């Protein structure tokens, strides 16, 4: 297998079937999309802190963008007139921010990168089971990205019905301009995205099941691989349901069916649709939507477990419990979708069932947090930037997870549903946690990816500013929510009862801008280090896992000779009786040594 054909530029960097290159492609696409999504959030945060006021920066963005033309083709307006965002554009930005971050950055950018990069390296395989499918997976994702980006420049604006695209708002273009061509492109992009995820997921599962090197039993898999494996199963089972859900929406939008539409009057006309049910859409959507949350979170949990263990110089506490917790979370995630729909008029009994299943998720989550704390206890922590982000992860996972107890409780949900409390909750537990996991992964495996180190000091700067600003942005949102402020409001100035909240909004926006800008430090550090970073050693973090036994120079096939054999689990750090504080997995057990 190692006698690969000579690689040309195209097969090496573009249509590559090497898992490491595909991982980098996913990472860089995800990062670029992350910047786009983050800039969007800053634009609408500006609007929220000073509603209706002009901003020079908006003017700068708004020039010549999606102009409205009169009959003669003269520009009569743009969604940003004189630096003021219009409400439709605000909703577009919110929608696209959600879509990009949830799917493009935290699903493809996170899973795509680390699943592709780590699976063959950590299980001891030359490459994925099917390099070709893997390549297809990326290029479907790339096509989805292109379509989504094109939708930003559509005359009627991109999709703006929220990332959850509830019909009828998303189905009828007269209800909001974004539900025209923009929504069509959104759906096409999403269909391509689902195909990409499915192809990727298939490959991950099969690779993990079949291509493990000798000695790499399932109980010796690093937790990253376990997390990715379970994520892939979740994806393969839940994304097709999103596809069927989107398919029916496409039919309703373009072919006149009535799956989700019923008894609607728009613009003075009664539509012919009868007998559909928008609630049906919500059921189908959240059947994917909820597992999707864990598709985002689980890889981060895996990365954090691995990085924490390495930098604590201590085995991850309760390996089996960690795996069982992952499985339990994954299983439960399929039977909790109704907690997004407590106030849709669902049968109260069903509401009770969903409350029950939802709150059960707290148990495996609690186990994970306690196990992380136990790992840190009496550790010998080495503060690499990656380690900082894993500690940040535990903090946000904890904070956000706790507020989940309120939202999962149907009775309490009545008053906080769709308020800023929810925004605060999911940004902390899902958004921040997953992105911290992603940062931790990038800082940790960058030496393996590019053979160079990322700058440590910039990493520290990046972490501390991000950590402080992110809490500064999302923690106050709980108070906004408890004050009754609904999410997706263009401005809260329409209600006197919210007037006093402006101060909080300004505080949030300030933190958002600082926290947003600091991400460019990361981007800079990333690209600078690719070319100019200091050269990395073979195993810079003194880690046990297999990827650090590969040569520094990237090669197709990963190991020059035989694939190493594995003799032990990956968490033998600071094991008593060992010479060093780490024992690579390739080291045979000494006589009389217990495995763990």
Partner 1 sequence: MTNILIFIVGFLGIVTLVQILRVSELMSAVHKQDVNEVNEKDNIFNSKMMLIVGALFLISFFWQYFEWKHLLLPEASSEHGVIIDELMTFTMLLIIFVFLITQPLLFWYSYKYRKGKGNETAYYFAHNNKLEIIWTVVPAIVLTGVILYGLSTWNKITNADVKGATVIELYAKQFNWTARYSGADNKLGSAHYKLVSPINPSGTNALGVDTRDNDVNAAWKDDIITTPVDNVVHLVKGQPVLLKFRSQDVIHSAFLPHFRVQMNCVPGMTTQFAFTPTKTTAEMKATEGEDFDYVLLCNKICGASHYNMQMKFIVETQEEYDTWMSSQKTLSEKVSTQTVITELVTQK
Partner 2 sequence: MESTLKKNTSKQLIWIGMGSIAMFFAGLTSAYIVRKGEGNWVELILPEWFWYSTITIILSSFALVVANQKIKKGKSVFSLVLIAFILGLLFSFFQLNGWKEMINQGVYFTGNVPNDNTMTISYFDDSLGIPIHVDSLNNNDRSINDRSTYDVCIIYSDVISSGIILNKGLLPDYAFIPKRSDTIYGCTDTLALNYNRNTTVDDGSCYYTCESGVTVFSTTHPYPLNYNLVWKDTNGHAFLEANTTIFADSNFSIPVCLPGCYNLSVTRTSTYNVSGSFLYVLTLSHFVHLIGGLIALMVTVINAIRKKYSADNYLGLEITSIYWHFLTILWIYLYCFLMYL
Binding site for partner 2 (CB under 8 A): 129-130, 133, 198, 201-203, 205-207, 209-211, 236-241, 243-245, 247-248, 251, 255-259, 272-277, 280, 283-284, 287
Segment 66-95, which members bind partner 1 (CB under 8 A)? 86-88, 91
Report the C-alpha gap between 19 and 115 in whole angstroms: 9
- Which partner from the list partner 1, partner 2, none does 244 bind, CB cut-off 5 to 8 Å by kind? partner 2
Largest CA distance in the chain: 87
- Which partner from the list partner 1, partner 2, none does 284 bind, CB cut-off 5 to 8 Å by kind? partner 2
What x/- string results for residues 251 through 280 when contact with partner 1 is judged by CB under 8 A? ----------xxxxxx-xxx---xxxxxx-
Could you say which of 143, 233, 327, 468 contacts partner 1 (CB under 8 A)? 468
Could you say which of 8, 52, 53, 60 contacts partner 1 (CB under 8 A)? 60
User: To the nearest whole angstrom, how small is the minimum distance from the Cβ of residue 199 to partner 1?
Assistant: 32
Q: How many residues does the chain have?
A: 596
Q: Which stretch binds partner 1 (CB under 8 A): 216-224, 247-255, 286-294, 401-409?
A: 401-409
Asked whether position 517 contacts partner 1 by CB under 8 A, the answer is no
The answer to whether residues 425 and 402 touch, using CB atoms and an 8 Å cutoff, is no
Could you say which of 13, 69, 209, 500 contacts partner 1 (CB under 8 A)? 500
Asked whether position 175 contacts partner 1 by CB under 8 A, the answer is yes
The answer to whether residues 435 and 106 touch, using CB atoms and an 8 Å cutoff, is yes
E strands within 150-212? none
Q: The dihedral of CA 19, 21, 22, 24: what is its sign?
A: positive
Name which of 133 and 143 has its Cβ closer to partner 2: 133
| Token duo for residue 149 | 């980006």
Asked whether position 399 contacts partner 1 by CB under 8 A, the answer is yes
Judged by CB under 8 A, the number of residues near partner 1 is 128
Asked whether position 343 contacts partner 1 by CB under 8 A, the answer is yes
Report the C-alpha gap between 72 and 81 in whole angstroms: 20
Report the C-alpha gap between 518 and 245 in whole angstroms: 38
User: To the nearest whole angstrom, how small is the minimum distance from the Cβ of residue 91 to partner 1?
Assistant: 7
Asked whether position 506 contacts partner 1 by CB under 8 A, the answer is no
Asked whether position 377 contacts partner 1 by CB under 8 A, the answer is yes
| Token duo for residue 107 | 């699903």
User: To the nearest whole angstrom, how small is the minimum distance from the Cβ of residue 71 to partner 1?
Assistant: 24
Name which of 256 and 551 has its Cβ closer to partner 2: 256
Report the C-alpha gap between 293 and 301 in whole angstroms: 12
User: To the nearest whole angstrom, how small is the minimum distance from the Cβ of residue 193 to partner 1?
Assistant: 22
Could you say which of 75, 254, 524, 551 contacts partner 1 (CB under 8 A)? 524
Torsion of Cα atoms, 87 then 105 then 306 then 475, to 10°: -10
Name which of 53 and 500 has its Cβ closer to partner 1: 500
Asked whether position 376 contacts partner 1 by CB under 8 A, the answer is yes
- Which partner from the list partner 1, partner 2, none does 451 bind, CB cut-off 5 to 8 Å by kind? none
Return the ∠ at Cα 475 (arms to 469 and 481), rounded to 5°: 140
Q: The dihedral of CA 241, 97, 38, 399: what is its sign?
A: negative
Q: Which residues neighbour 157 within 8 Å (Cβ) at sequence distance 6 or greater?
A: 66, 79, 88, 89, 92, 177, 178, 182
Q: Which residues neighbour 544 within 8 Å (Cβ) at sequence distance 6 or greater?
A: 310, 570, 571, 572, 573, 582, 583, 584, 585
């Amino acid at each position: 297998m190692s006698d690969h054909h000579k690689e040309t530029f195209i097969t090496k960097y573009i249509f590559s079937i090497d898992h490491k290159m595909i991982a980098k492609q996913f990472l860089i696409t995800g990062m670029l999309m992350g910047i786009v999504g983050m800039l969007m959030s800053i634009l609408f945060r500006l609007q929220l802190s000073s509603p209706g006021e002009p901003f020079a920066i908006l003017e700068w963005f708004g020039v010549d963008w999606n102009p409205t033309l009169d009959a003669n083709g003269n520009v009569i307006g743009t969604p940003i007139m004189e630096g003021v965002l219009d409400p439709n554009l605000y909703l577009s930005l919110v929608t696209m921010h959600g879509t990009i971050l949830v799917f493009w950055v935290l699903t493809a950018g996170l899973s795509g990168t680390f699943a592709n990069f780590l699976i063959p390296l950590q299980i001891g395989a030359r490459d994925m089971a099917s390099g070709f499918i893997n390549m297809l997976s990326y290029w479907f994702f790339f096509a989805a990205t292109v379509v989504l980006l094109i939708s930003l420049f559509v005359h009627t604006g991109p999709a703006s019905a929220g990332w959850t695209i509830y019909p009828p708002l998303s189905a009828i273009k007269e209800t909001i301009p974004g539900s025209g061509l923009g929504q069509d492109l959104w759906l096409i992009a999403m269909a391509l995205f689902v195909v990409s995820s499915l192809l990727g997921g298939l490959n991950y599962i099969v690779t993990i099941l079949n291509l493990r090197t000798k000695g790499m039993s399932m109980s010796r898999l690093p937790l990253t691989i376990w997390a990715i494996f379970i994520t892939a199963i979740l994806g393969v089972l839940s994304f097709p349901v999103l596809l069927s859900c989107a398919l029916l929406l496409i039919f309703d939008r373009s072919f006149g069916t009535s799956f989700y539409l019923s008894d609607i009057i728009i613009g003075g006309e009664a539509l012919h649709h009868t007998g559909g049910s928008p609630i049906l859409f919500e059921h189908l959507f959240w059947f994917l939507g909820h597992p999707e949350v864990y598709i985002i979170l689980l890889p981060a949990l895996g990365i954090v477990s691995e990085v924490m263990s390495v930098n604590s110089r201590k085995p991850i506490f309760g390996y089996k419990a960690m795996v069982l917790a992952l499985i339990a979370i994954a299983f439960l995630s399929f039977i909790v979708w109704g907690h997004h729909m407590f106030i849709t008029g669902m049968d109260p009994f069903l509401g009770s069932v969903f409350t029950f299943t939802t709150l059960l998720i707290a148990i495996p989550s609690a186990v994970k947090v306690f196990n992380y704390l136990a790992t840190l206890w009496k550790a010998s922590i080495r503060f690499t930037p990656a380690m900082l982000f894993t500690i940040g992860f535990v903090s946000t996972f904890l904070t956000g997870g706790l507020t989940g107890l309120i939202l999962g409780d149907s009775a309490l949900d009545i008053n906080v549903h769709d308020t800023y409390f929810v925004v605060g909750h999911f940004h902390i537990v899902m958004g921040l946690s997953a992105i911290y996991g992603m940062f931790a992964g990038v800082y940790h495996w960058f030496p393996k990816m590019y053979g160079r180190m990322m700058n440590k000091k910039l990493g520290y700067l990046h972490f501390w500013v991000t950590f402080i600003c992110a809490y500064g942005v999302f923690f106050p949102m709980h108070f906004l929510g408890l004050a009754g402020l609904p999410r997706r409001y263009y401005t809260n100035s329409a209600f006197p009862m919210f007037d006093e909240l402006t101060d909080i909004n300004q505080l949030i926006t300030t933190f958002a801008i600082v926290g947003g800008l600091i991400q460019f430090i990361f981007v800079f550090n990333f690209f600078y280090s690719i070319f100019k970073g200091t050269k990395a050693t073979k195993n810079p973090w003194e880690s046990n896992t297999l990827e650090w036994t590969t040569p520094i120079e990237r090669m197709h096939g990963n190991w020059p000779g035989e694939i190493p054999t594995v003799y032990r689990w990956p968490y033998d750090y600071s094991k008593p009786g060992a010479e060093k504080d780490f024992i690579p997995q390739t080291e045979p057990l000494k006589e009389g040594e217990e495995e763990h």
